[in-house]
Amino acid sequence: MRSMNCVPGNCSRTMAGTADVTCCLISTSSTGPPATASHSRVVEPSCAIKRRSTWRSRVACAGVAAASAKRSRRGGLEELEDMSEIVVSVRRIDLPHGPRETMAALRGDAPGVLLESALPMEGQGQWSYVAGAARATLYTDAGGTVLRRTGQADMGFADPFEALEAMASAKQVRVVADEPVPEGLGFIGGWVGVLGYDAARHLHRLPETAQDEPSLPQMWWMAVDQVLAYHQPSRQWWECTSSGPGDGWPWTTTDRLAAWADTLARARRPAPSRRPWMAGARQLRMSREGFESGVEHIREAIANGEVLQVNLTRREDAAFQGDAWSLYEDLVAAHPVPFTAFIETPDFSIASCSPERFLKLQGRTVQARPIKGTVARGRTPDEDAANRDWLAASEKNRAENLMIVDLMRNDIGRVAELGSVRVPDLFALEPYASVWQMVSTVQATLREGLGPADLLRACWPPGSMTGAPKLAAMQAIEALEPLRRGFYAGSIGYIDCRGNMDLSVVIRTAVVARGKVMVQVGGGIVADSDPASEWNETVAKGERLVRVLDAGFSGSASPAAPR
């Protein structure tokens, strides 16, 4: 590891943990029309070339609408700020399965989410979480931002960040346990879901030129009041149940004891057999020529002083039918990483294999672990070691990483205590199935009185997926990428009822919706980027995803989490 002498603050050489949790929420499967067999072809909107040619004029005239100040809340939110005490009961229980088999046993008709640490690392992945049925959903789509509860009138919000501030702020919580609980229990109840990249449009004024296809929510969360927490080292389950006011989270009603008991009964059932899935031929939504032309445009903009770095990405689509959960299992088997995630609703499914933590908030301690810098794994041990050494010494990749570290320091610094932002690790190298990644760690202390929504407003969207300066880079992305990113480049994770938060970056991800599966890959473009090399880097990053899609349903169960 290298210390960062140029960063203010005290530095240490201690590597902070990456993936602390696995969180599993109950879900249903989604299906689509039959896949079709054809050769890969390019499907690119005809307006893409015109947009590129006029990019700089749009960037010059685009304004900024920063949302650094807290927004005033609308009438009717008082019930969401009820500070009545919430009691969380924690007790040891016995279940026959590990977390993944438990998720499979609990899947049913309700939407759900799984957050999983599929790659054990030193000091990481101590806990896994399986949650019971949703008490509510919170989402943003073309119609606005809405809180929805069964049998209740919908409640609207001005934007997703106002909603998160109202719903996911820290509550007055008392935890009751009959015996000592192992250290590190992070998620005892609250909200879990996804915040898409395009939620940034509520914080920044951006051009609207990229096509929104397919149109999916910008945000989707579900609230849970029952969590089955699995401690990996002891292989012991703990049940966490939350009781509190009826007019605010967790909306306690008289039927909760029976509902919690039903979850435990279903969790003890045998895991069901796997169901097949099939993907058709992949279609490139941006050609290689278009991608490499985008790299050249960014290099020219850098030379003109308009940007320092831009994260340029491209998407591939294929027809899809079958069980998205089985696709997730096959992806995890091929690409185990610290942050894997599965979200399933009637309208979409997300199967994510992300190596990158966006933000973790524990108490008032903030951690970000941006990834910038990639090289393919070698085919032999010697070649692999040579590739690693090349990445470690690469001035280009170090420059990419350092720019994003500075961006994250500045973003976090908006809401951090003065002088608390530091970089304990810089340019660390981590091995994954198909690539070596360069990872740095930024830490800080959140200012007193602020919470998860304030931190998200200051840092959204993830800087590793935009470039720097952030607004100019986002304007360039809108001009050069033919399609909106949707969930890709956003975050998946949880916001705990105590105000804790842990979010991964949505990369190495397959989104299933409208009868097709979509994957997206990209990389940071800097002054000395080579267009052909940048294309090859995207191929290396997506290699495991693409291989799974092309191979189809494996037929055999993927390795489960240890029991």
Please list the active-site residues: 356, 372
DSSP calls for 213-227: -S---SEEEEEESEE
| CA–CA dist 352, 360 (Å, integer) | 18
Cis amide linkage into residue 99, ω under 30° from 0: no
Torsion (CA) 318, 319, 322, 326 in degrees, nearest 10 = 0
Q: Which helix (H) or strand (E) holds 431?
A: strand 422-431
Q: Which helix (H) or strand (E) holds 523?
A: strand 516-525
Is-contact 130 227, C-beta < 8 A? yes
With H, G, I as helix, E, B as strand and everything else as coil, classify residue 411.
helix
Q: Taking each helix axis from N to C terminus, what angle separates 324-334 and 531-551, rounded to the nearest 10 degrees?
A: 120
- Supply the Cα-derived Rg of the chain in whole angstroms: 22
| CA–CA dist 487, 506 (Å, integer) | 7
User: What does the block give as tokens for 148?
Assistant: 């929805």
CA 298 to chain centre: 26
Which phi and psi (to 5°) does residue 111 adopt?
Answer: -60, 160
Which phi and psi (to 5°) does residue 477 adopt?
Answer: -60, -45
